[in-house]
Amino acid sequence: MISRIRALFLLAALVPAAAAEDAASKPNIVYIMTDDQGYGDVSILNPERGKIPTPAMDRIAKEGMIFTDAHSGSAVCTPTRYGLLTGRYAWRTKLQSGVVQGFAPCLIAEDRPTVASFLKQQGYHTGIVGKWHLNFQYSDPESGKILKRKSKKMLAPVGSKIPDGPVNRGFDHFHGFHHAGDMKGVIENDTVIAHEEEIHMLPRLTRAAVEYIDGRAKASKGQPFFLYVPYGSPHAPIVPTKEWQGRSGLNKHADFVMETDDGVRRILEALDRNGFAENTLVVFTADNGTSKGAGIPELQKKGHHVSAHLRGSKADLWDGGHRVPFLVRWPAKIKPGSISDELICHTDLFATCADILDQPIPANAAEDSVSFLPALSGAPIESTRAGVIHHSISGHFAYRQGPWKLLLAYGSGGWTSPKEPEAKKSGAPKAQLYDMEKDPGETTNLYESHPEVAARLLAQLEADVANGRSTKGPPAKNDIAEIKLWKSGK
């Protein structure tokens, strides 16, 4: 399948990138991350088993680079977002499984640097348009008291203030919502400004992202910007607008993916229109694999496989849970039609930004972040990190180093069958080991036949967890005293 992708780009890869001599020293950075969109839900990545057209996402790939082995820091929402913004795995915090639910203190500590706060110190204007899902609190607009959630359906009143949200973690501007359960609550900077039905959120976010880009063109000339666009789609509630309902001929999830792709198109056009495209690093990616709520069996019957050639989907420890689309365009630096097989993670954004700007990473920051900047020009990534750590919804761990992947789980570690009790009852080994180069579908468990490889990866995982960081740097600590590696027992 990957060879087919390479064939699609063979001629384009021979075209030299535009000269960058006159480009500004600090590129704009636009990081678009969709919600619950698997590797196979981008048409250019899934030519043989995909049916959803995504021309805007494909455009980024054709004009830039595909990373074939990119991973989210977790197979679910919150921990991926924490890792992206901090350069640190979320399981180093008190969040050992699942996601946060809002109406609680922010998961990112007030004194912890974020990508946004770092770039702001380097002269960037920083904006987020979309889903936060890292917790924040609300204060009552009349009494000023911190509100407590009395029911799952409770929304903070219009006018409520947020003391520990995105604008308190490095962003100059925020427009969006907290998470899917609170999507009706629209927030501008630190204030709840409206309540509206979820179906309006995707168009709202696209408009807001385009307005932000247009606004930067009219504002301070020459100031670079960082725009983070964590779309809430195609995550449930799956609510494509009337214009997009039925467009895919598959189901609502596919329609919603198509509408999200159209939002990406509008963002790219805004960059083009304002003359930003040449020296803007655009990343398109997702936070994890496709959810079961997308109707995966229905899609498969119609010929669409949400995870392409990979096993599993959202929440799982198998690669379908966390290997994500990762498309990068930067005309000033990247050859069109490039492909990289380097192993990278969402946590790597922080170190990459520091590398681009030739600045040191702040103290006590980005403990699990490695720059992928060399890969953008076809060079190998030089890393002090031995491998990448994967994490499932239930907190199960896996370790990836080179072609080898060790899973400390009997089954998926997530929502796909066989789940842990089922796999354990069937007599499955206590762990799994796969050669991802020969077996990307994770079909042949080599745990019992290659004990020396399993032992080596386990030792490295244990060290990376215990050391408080997986890269070389100052001593670091996890936020909790003990992190349990074997969630299903040994």
List pLDDT tens digits, range 264-289.
Answer: 999 999 999 999 999 999 999 999 99
Q: Where are the domains of the chain?
A: 2-13+25-376, 388-466
**pLDDT confidence of residue 19:** 33
Distance CA 88, CA 258 (A): 32
Establish how many alpha carbons lie within 13 A of residue 45's alpha carbon, considering only the half-sphere containing its beta carbon.
32
**Averaged confidence pLDDT in the chain:** 95
Task: Identify the sign of the CA torsion 341, 10, 261, 174.
Answer: positive
Confidence (pLDDT) at 10: 45
Query: Nearest CA to 174 among 222, 123, 114, 235?
Result: 114
Check residue 14 and give its pLDDT. Answer: 39
What is the distance between the alpha carbons of residues 209 and 195, in angstroms, rounded to a whole number?
19
Per-residue pLDDT at 310: 98
pLDDT tens string 58-108: 999 999 999 999 999 999 999 999 999 999 999 999 999 999 999 999 999
Report in angstroms the alpha-carbon separations of 441 from 38, 265, 302, 410, 416.
Answer: 14, 31, 21, 16, 14
What pLDDT digit, counting tens, does each position of 280-331 carry? 999 999 999 999 999 999 999 999 999 999 999 999 999 999 999 999 999 9
Reported as type and span, the H/E element at residue 164 is: none
Q: What is residue 300's three-state secondary structure?
A: helix
Provide the pLDDT for residue 489.
Answer: 82
First to last CA, the chain: 36
Q: What is the pTM for the complete model shown?
A: 0.94
pLDDT digits (tens, 9 = 90+) for 413-459: 999 999 999 999 999 999 999 999 999 999 999 999 999 999 999 99
Q: Predicted confidence band at 342 (pLDDT cuts at 50, 70, 90)?
A: very high
Phi, psi of 185 (to 5 degrees): -90, 105
**Hey, which CATH number is domain 388-466, 3.40.190.10, 3.90.550.10, 3.40.718.10, 3.30.1120.10?**
3.30.1120.10
If you ran DSSP here, which 8-state letter would residue 117 be given?
H
Q: At residue 345, does pLDDT exceed 60?
A: yes
DSSP letters, 365-420, are --TT----HHHHTTPPPP-S---EEEE-TT--EEEEETTEEEE-SSS-SSSSSS-H
The alpha helices in 10-104, defined as continuous H runs, are 55-63, 77-86
Residue 339 sits at φ, ψ, to 5 deg, of -135, 135
CATH number for the segment(s) 2-13+25-376: 3.40.720.10
Other Cβ atoms closer than 10 A to 473: 17
pLDDT number for residue 215: 97
CB-count burial class (<10 Å; 0-12, 13-18, 19+) for 450? middle
Model pLDDT, residue 490: 77
1-38: per-residue pLDDT in tens? Answer: 545 555 545 434 433 333 333 334 899 999 999 999 99
What is the Cα–Cα distance from 282 to 268, expressed in whole angstroms? Answer: 9
